[in-house]
Amino acid sequence: MLDTIEVLVTRVIAEAQGVKSWELAREDGSPLPSFTAGAHIDLKLANGLVRSYSLCNSQDEANRYLIAVNNDPQSRGGSKFIHDMLGLGDLVSISAPRNHFPLVEDAGHVVFVAGGIGITPIYSMIQRLEALGRSWELHYSARTKEMCAFRSQFEVLEQRRPGRVHFNFDHEPGGRMIDLKDVLAKSDANAHFYCCGPAPMLQAFEDAAKALGLPSPQIHVEYFTAMQEAATDGGFTVELARSKRSFFVSAGKTILETLLDNDVDVPSSCTQGFCGTCETAVIEGIPDHRDSVLSSEDQATNRTMMICCSGSKSEKLVLDL
Ligand code: FES
């Protein structure tokens, strides 16, 4: 994590079964760096982990960030630590917000699909579209009503203008998985479509969009787990153009691990290719892209890469480091 900001936990609220929100603000209450809907911040936790979380409040709020975290039983240490250890009045270091999941604000209509805690960036986007008076609809899946974060807020929005919010509780009696092909097929084909949720839902969403022939610029997804295995075959050299050092990446290691092993300080967070923290400019060579941050068009240019998970198709990669 490069530049950090010290913030205070000013509120913790239980939002649903297993989900709490944390409000973060400067100690003196002064404004934080601005953000746009869909942005995330990194939290540097006291156990040494760095984890990314989407901001779920309105981008019009200058003095606070709101994150919501699911106490995931599969946690690699981040969400469990936050639930167990991050309390009211605690100080925490965060990064400034970055946005790899931007909202098209002038779309004629926006269709949102959220699964579980994937609602967080989408909740911020919906607040933005409400503020702009734009057209949207939400298809929000959770296992049960009790596990559905921000449900009462969406119920208020639905009362304000009915027909926009569609809940799906797949573990309730008679419940079943949301049929994304059906959702997308019934929507305006000129709309923009956003999905954030678990990997199988994202895959089903992308498959449905492809099967229906929806143009890729109208399809927007955000992964918060790895989409592919990291490239660890090794067998290539990484040259750092600015520091004029080079390293051989051995089998079993990623580029990031190789650099950290050699005391090269590079920022990273998720280490799984979905947060964008380790994005690095490529000067020469052909990366083996494994991330879920860059679009396939961006990957094809080979101008940047995520060094935590992507490898090399060429014998040498020259990086702008
Ligand atoms: S550290 Fe998150 S994409 Fe590389």
Domain ranges of the chain: 4-95, 110-222, 236-319
* pLDDT reading at 71 higher than 80: yes
Per-residue pLDDT averaged across 231-242, rounded? 96
Does 95 sit in the ligand 1 pocket, CB within 6 Å? no
* pLDDT reading at 225 higher than 80: no
Per-residue pLDDT averaged across 298-316, rounded? 97
Q: Kindly list the strands in the beta sheet with 136-142, ordered across the sheet, starting from the edge strand earlier in the chain.
A: 165-169, 136-142, 110-115, 192-196, 219-222
* pLDDT reading at 31 higher than 90: yes
Per-residue pLDDT, 3 = 74
Does 273 sit in the ligand 1 pocket, CB within 6 Å? yes
Measured in Å, residue 99 CA sits from the centre of ligand 1 at 13
Which two three-digit tokens encode residue 58? 């309105």
Cα 108 to its chain centre, rounded Å, is: 24
Locate the ligand 1 atom nearest the alpha carbon of residue 274 and give its number: 3
For 282, residues 6+ apart whose C-beta sits below 8 A from its C-beta are 302, 303, 304, 305, 317, 318, 319, 320
For 152, residues 6+ apart whose C-beta sits below 8 A from its C-beta are none
Tell which phi-psi region holds residue 73, choosing left (phi > 0), alpha (psi between -120 and 50) or beta: alpha
* pLDDT reading at 98 higher than 80: yes
Q: Given pLDDT bands bounded at 50, 70 and 90, which one contains residue 263?
A: very high
The matching CATH number, chosen from 1.10.20.140, 3.40.50.970, 3.30.1450.10, 2.40.30.10, for 4-95 is 2.40.30.10
Measured in Å, residue 304 CA sits from the centre of ligand 1 at 12
Locate the ligand 1 atom nearest the alpha carbon of residue 309 and give its number: 4
* pLDDT reading at 46 higher than 80: yes
Per-residue pLDDT, 47 = 83
Mutation probe of ligand 1 site: the residue of 306, 310, 321 with most atoms within 8 A of C-beta: 306
Q: Do domains 4-95 and 110-222 have the same CATH topology?
A: no
Q: How far apart are CA 225 and CA 228, in angstroms?
A: 9
Per-residue pLDDT, 49 = 85
Which two three-digit tokens encode residue 227? 């989409």
Report the candidate in 197, 178, 9 with the shortest Cα–Cα distance to residue 90. 9
Q: What is the per-residue pLDDT across 277-287, written as a single tens digit (0 to 9) for each?
A: 899 999 999 99
Q: What is the per-residue pLDDT across 165-216, written as a single tens digit (0 to 9) for each?
A: 999 999 999 889 999 999 999 999 899 999 999 989 999 999 999 999 999 9
Per-residue pLDDT, 296 = 86
First to last CA, the chain: 15
For 225, residues 6+ apart whose C-beta sits below 8 A from its C-beta are 198, 199, 272, 274
**Which CATH number does 110-222 carry?**
3.40.50.80
Measured in Å, residue 10 CA sits from the centre of ligand 1 at 28
* pLDDT reading at 1 higher than 60: no
Per-residue pLDDT averaged across 124-152, rounded? 98
* pLDDT reading at 2 higher than 60: no
Please give the helix or strand (H or E) that residue 79 lies within, else none: helix 78-85
Alpha-carbon torsion (188, 191, 196, 199), positive or negative: positive
Measured in Å, residue 298 CA sits from the centre of ligand 1 at 16
Domain 236-319: CATH superfamily is Beta-grasp domain (3.10.20.30)
* pLDDT reading at 249 higher than 60: yes
Contact status, residue 171 vs residue 144, Cβ threshold 8 Å: yes
Q: What is the largest CA-CA distance in the chain?
A: 62
Contact status, residue 270 vs residue 52, Cβ threshold 8 Å: yes
Query: Which of 14-18, 44-48, 205-209 is least confident?
Result: 44-48
Per-residue pLDDT averaged across 261-288, rounded? 93
% of the chain surpassing 70 pLDDT: 99
Contact status, residue 95 vs residue 4, Cβ threshold 8 Å: yes
Does 226 sit in the ligand 1 pocket, CB within 6 Å? no
Q: How far apart are CA 195 and CA 227, in angstroms?
A: 14
* One-letter amino acid of 137: E
Measured in Å, residue 160 CA sits from the centre of ligand 1 at 39
Does 271 sit in the ligand 1 pocket, CB within 6 Å? yes
Measured in Å, residue 274 CA sits from the centre of ligand 1 at 6
Averaged confidence pLDDT in the chain: 95
Per-residue pLDDT, 185 = 96
